[in-house]
Structure 1
């Protein structure tokens, strides 16, 4: 379940690409908070602390500014294409008791029947859950499943109070028969050593005799 993390933030006063680059050089991440009909609030967050916090993309954060606290969830995390460092975050305001839709990882239990191959079609799925009690994952059980079997959204196990936001017949995983590729036997073709120059040697001998 989600743990609330408190982060001290400051209001962002300067805008534009130059100001954003300067903020990152100063060890701060530009961010914007919106939701519940309020005007967007532009903030600066400490880079190291925030980066660690949002390793879980569904991290529930409490942003503290001037004594006020705002409960938020990351909505969009932008990262530098090369360094993969966090460059900007959009947060959405949430309230205790409110339900939100987030994507969570699919955890797989068990092993399919021998001679089969398991294929996870969806590594994550959308779920509706209480903002302050978001699950870390949902679970599917593939123990003993045979070739041709499908795991559907209706087969996913979710925590109490959580529902999966997919149609019941949506395919999450498939089980197929393992196909062994026959590469055939490779025969090494052995060739007799080339006798280049042998005939030439006879010719030379004939010339010498002449």
Structure 2
């Protein structure tokens, strides 16, 4: 993103009353209760238009401006609370920032391509679905793409293998596995031949034959 970036802006209104009853009234009016905090200032209880907020979410805007009665602040979307079915937004938390300052956020990992090992019957597992990224607030990526086109059975991609935007840094431990391909379930370990090992079935008559030989 260039340095002449422009933030989206939505209007907000102060909330004079708090509580669950008032929050329900606000939501029935097509607005979402919100709290803005950070920068060592008192938390501000506001409400934003439901449609405006959904547009920002749809466009994956995480950093934007809010205009509260003419006072404009730069904020980052920190948390969304949804109803049980994930249909309605119940509440939103915003954090005051400077769009050119560094922030630490959780960024989703997106797998790209098809793993040859998975096509051969291997089990593709993704232990890490998000990574903790330190970057400029106005440069937060929508996701971190990870290409798995070369992953064979037994291969893994670690945090240290992930490419990040210029100037960004991942806080997760470098040796953590992001995605790997495991052998198919039920496949014996290499070198474990059928009929060998402690659980191999006993051959009928084998003990009697050995006893006869000893006699």
TM-score by length of 1: 0.78
Size of the aligned set, in residue pairs, is: 181
Q: Which segment drifts farther, 2-11 or 119-128?
A: 2-11
**1:135 deviation in Å?**
0.7
- Provide the rounded CA distance (Å) in 2 between the counterparts of 1:21 and 1:8: 20
Larger Rg: 1
Whole-Å separation in 1 of the counterparts to 2:99 and 2:137: 7
Structure 1 stretches of at least 4 aligned residues deviating more than 3 Å after TM superposition: 55-58, 178-181
Q: Distance in 2 between matches of 1:77 and 1:167?
A: 27
Instruction: Check the 8 A contact 1:32/1:91 in 2, yes or no.
Output: yes
Q: Pick from 67, 71, 75 the counterpart of residue 70 of structure 2.
A: 67
Tell me if the contact between 2:60 and 2:142 (Cα under 8 Å) persists in the aligned partners: no
Aligned mates of 1:79, 1:159 — CA distance in 2: 30
Q: Deviations over 1:4-47 (max 9, x none)?
A: 32101111111111111111111111111010100101111111
Does residue 1:18 correspond to 2:58, yes or no?
Answer: no
Greater Cα offset, 161-170 or 76-85: 76-85
How far residue 152 of structure 1 moved from its aligned partner, in angstroms, is 0.5
After superposition, the C-alpha distances for 1:72-126 in whole angstroms (9 at most, x for unaligned) are 1111211111463111111101103211111112122333225133222222211
Name the counterpart of 1:29. 32
Going from structure 1 to structure 2, the CA distance change for 1:25 and 1:161 (only over 3 Å counts) comes to: same
* Partner residue of 1:130 out of 121, 130, 136: 136
Find 2:105's aligned residue among 102, 105, 114. 102
Task: Select the residue among 24, 42, 51 that pairs with 1:48.
Answer: 51
TM value normalised by structure 2: 0.76
Say if 1:117 and 1:175, in contact at 8 Å, map to a contact too.
Answer: yes
RMSD (Å) for aligned C-alpha atoms: 2.2
Q: CA–CA distance in 2 between the matches of 1:180 and 1:157?
A: 35
Pairing of 1:163-174 with structure 2 (within 5 A): 163-174=169-180
| 8 Å CA contact retained: 1:149, 1:174 | yes
- Matched residue of 2:138: which SS? coil
Q: What CA distance in whole angstroms lies between the structure 2 residues aligned with 1:167 and 1:155?
A: 11
Matched, 1:7 2:6: no
Q: Report if the CA contact (8 A) 2:63-2:99 is conserved.
A: no
